[in-house]
Amino acid sequence: MSETLATALLHALKSRGARNIFGIPGDFVLPFFRVIEDSNILPFYTLSHEPSVGYAADASARISSTLGVAVITYGAGALNMVNAVAQAYAEKSPLVVISGGPGKGEGELGLGLHHQVKTLNSQLEIYKELTCDQTVLNNPATAPADIARVLDSAQKQSRPVYIEIPRDLVDAPCGPVPAYTPDTPDMDAARACATEILTRLKSAKSPAILIGVESRRYGLENKIGKLCKTLGIPVATSFMGRGLFAEHDLPLLGTYLGTAGDEHIAQSIEGADALLMLGVITSDTNFGVSGKNIDMRGAISAFDNAVDFAHYSYPNITLETLIDAMAEIAEPIGKATGNHKPAYSRGLPDDDTPLSPSHIATAVNDLFATHGRMPIASDMGDCFFTGLEIENTEFAGPGYYASMGPGVPAGMAIAASGKRPIVLVGDGAFQMTGWELGNCRKYGWAPIVILFNNKSWEMLRTFQPGPGYHDLDDWHYAQIAPHLGGKGVRVQTCAELKQALEVAHADDSCFQLIEVMLERGDVSDTLAGFVDAVRKMSALGNE
């Protein structure tokens, strides 16, 4: 069957693992939308605002370790989504942005086009700063190779890419897109590097391993879990890597949060005389509250397809190639068996105790103990820090770029993948993208949304106590839920929250919104620990 430019692109996305498309149409992308609908090559879901489209497609990539796909119109649509794509870039998510674009001749009319910024290329120039590769498909003859190059880049670098499809070329005849072509691994270099790493770990008194998001992005949790189990060295995940290895058996201590987290974990990582970092973003959120600066000279970092030692680097070694090379020669080094598991709070009192954020974590832990774990999508705010007090489970959250807004759209993407998520979101972030819940009914999605209503931008207040502009009004979100096609309940006490979670879990007929009333100034134990650690670090810095 002969391909068109549009069907060739859609078949290429599907053959490389994309599961669905999120989007909002516009006249520049209507022709492509028609092909998406008529061809049914990939299921697609429309949302109400492009930032949510970006967040949902990004989450789709994260939860399935594959390509996420966002389709939007030129100008107003694509530029509306910039922040979500920036977050995907910073947090290494392979999001494919497909924007409709002006037709070949439109630019020659000598008229400014609607949705145009400075020039017709402005959007491409802006997206060059947010993506690792780009193409404008204005030549059907080269389109198969152009698409293959850009999608290969997304998969190899696990970063967003940009594809612009001129609206008058959507149905142009086009050859099939070549399949994914992995780089040929340099196994000699990988084996030399693996030998050097294992020698370092063996000769260290207290080696440790820190694992970050790349292990999920490249679908390596099984391989890395097996390797760590063989080595018997203590393992922790980074702040960004929260939720990794939830289904795996390895000597996992928990999430490293520096002085803001579990002391035993902090000692193991900060006290390591050989720290192997696998796929870890070296960022302030991952290391900003380290009790003592981790001696990066003794650390080995495998990240962004290179392995860096203190003063030299092995370039072009993918994380998977390194793990394979290490697995060939790995043997037990330590006796760590993961016996140290952080204690997650259980047993929420069934009484009139007023709710605090950490009670929410206890209530969810109790729910998981009764009904089994569920994936979590978290927004940014105290809800994210509370999420760190919940048992280790699949977790999608903006732990590095830290934008508000992804929580509800990410939960909807998890629901689209066939799993039922719990969404953690603050009232401020809900005001940004929570209304997307109104799109759940048409797709039959039933996330359980826990809304932290402290009538405040509380996380900011913890950093800057005093100003009144952190105060938010009470929008009575639970009362709005039925108008959006879901069910809502407002809870103030532990007993009410316990009951509401059980009722919500038992009812998957629609989304369930549990509005938890919290006092301004009352934050989770983890956020309080983080703020305290940041204050101590800055005090030390000022000495």
Ligand X SMILES: Cc1ncc(Cc2csc(CCOP(=O)(O)OP(=O)(O)O)c2C)c(N)n1
Contact footprint for Mg ion (CB under 5 A): 426-428, 454, 456, 458
Pairing of strands 235-237, 252-255: parallel
The CB-of-512 to Mg ion minimum distance in angstroms stands at 20
Amino acid symbol at 107: G
Longest dimension (CA), the chain: 72
Q: Does 387 bind ligand X (CB under 6 A)?
A: no
Ligand-binding annotation for 454, yes or no, is yes
* Position among 301, 456, 512, 526 found at the interface with ligand X (CB under 6 A): 456
- 514 contacts which partner out of Mg ion, ligand X, none, CB within 5 to 8 A by kind? none
Residue 530 interacts with ligand X (CB under 6 A): yes or no: no
Q: Which stretch binds ligand X (CB under 6 A): 134-142, 158-166, 396-404, 533-541?
A: 396-404
The answer to whether the beta carbons of residues 472 and 431 sit under 8 Å apart is yes
The residue from 47, 130, 376, 404 that contacts ligand X (CB under 6 A) is: 404
Nearer to Mg ion by C-beta: 278 or 432?
Answer: 432
Q: Both ends of the chain: CA-CA distance in Å?
A: 71
Please, are residues 155 and 177 in contact by the beta-carbon 8 Å criterion?
A: no
Task: Kindly state the smallest distance separating residue 355's Cβ from ligand X, in Å.
Answer: 13
Which of ligand X, Mg ion, none does residue 460 bind to, with CB < 5 to 8 Å depending on kind? ligand X
To Mg ion, the closest distance from the beta carbon of 472 in angstroms equals 6
Under the binding rule (CB under 6 A), the answer on residue 54 touching ligand X is no
If you ran DSSP here, which 8-state letter would residue 161 be given?
Answer: E
405 binds ligand X (CB under 6 A): yes
Buried b / exposed e along 236-269 (16+ C-beta atoms within 10 A): bbbbbbbbbbbebebbbbbbbbbbbbbeebbebb
Does 403 participate in binding ligand X (rule CB under 6 A)? Answer: yes
Is 138 marked within a binding site?
A: no
Q: Decide if residue 55 touches ligand X (CB under 6 A).
A: no
**How far, in Å, CA of 151 to CA of 145, rounded?**
10
Q: Residue count at the site for ligand X (CB under 6 A)? A: 19
* Shortest distance (Å) from residue 379 CB to ligand X: 6
- State the binding partner of 380 from Mg ion, ligand X, none, CB within 5 to 8 A by kind: ligand X
- Could you tell me which of 177, 178, 134 has the C-alpha nearest to residue 157? 134
Cα angle 53, 57, 58; round to 5: 115
**Overall size of the chain counted in residues:** 543
Taking a C-beta distance cutoff of 8 angstroms, is the pair 5, 170 a contact?
A: yes
Which of the choices Mg ion, ligand X, none does residue 404 contact, using the CB cut-off of 5 to 8 A by kind?
Answer: ligand X
Burial environment of residue 339 by CB neighbours within 10 A (0 to 12, 13 to 18, 19 or more):
exposed
User: Phi first, then psi: what are they for 262, rounded to 5°?
Assistant: -60, 125
* Residue 449 engages ligand X in binding (rule: CB under 6 A): no
DSSP assignment string, 172-234 = SEEPPPPPP-PPPP-HHHHHHHHHHHHHHHHH-SSEEEEE-THHHHTT-HHHHHHHHHHHT--
Shortest reach from residue 20's CB to ligand X, in Å = 24
Q: How far is the CB of 341 from ligand X (least distance, A)?
A: 27
- 528 contributes a contact to ligand X by CB under 6 A: no
Select from 3-11, 225-233, 381-389, 483-491 the region that touches ligand X (CB under 6 A): 381-389
- Please choose, out of 7-15, 397-405, 482-490, 493-501, the segment that lies near ligand X by the rule CB under 6 A: 397-405
Among Mg ion, ligand X, none, what binds residue 429 when CB lies within 5 to 8 Å by partner kind? ligand X
Rg of the chain taking only CA atoms, in angstroms: 24
Among the listed residues 77, 381, 409, 411, the single contact to ligand X using CB under 6 A: 381
The region of 91-99, 290-298, 334-342, 453-461 touching ligand X under the rule CB under 6 A is: 453-461
Q: What angle do CA 118, 121, 124 make, to 5 degrees?
A: 115
- The least CB distance from residue 100 to ligand X, in Å, is 26
Q: Give min distance, CB of 513 to ligand X, in A.
A: 15
Smallest separation, CB 117 to ligand X (Å): 21
What are the structure tokens assigned to 475, written together?
A: 């929008």
Cα-based distances in Å from 457 to 338, 464, 519, 523: 37, 11, 12, 11
Establish if 402 lies at the interface with ligand X (CB under 6 A). yes
By CB under 6 A, what part of segment 409-438 binds ligand X?
A: 426-429
Q: Which tokens sit at 325?
A: 């090379």
With beta carbons less than 8 A apart as the criterion, state whether 406 and 47 touch: no
**Residue 362 or 454 having the CB closest to Mg ion:** 454
Which single residue is written with the structure tokens 């000598």?
110
CB atoms within 10 A of CB 179: 11
Annotation: binding site for Mg(2+):
427, 454
Q: Footprint of ligand X on this chain (CB under 6 A)?
A: 380-383, 402-405, 426-429, 452, 454, 456-460
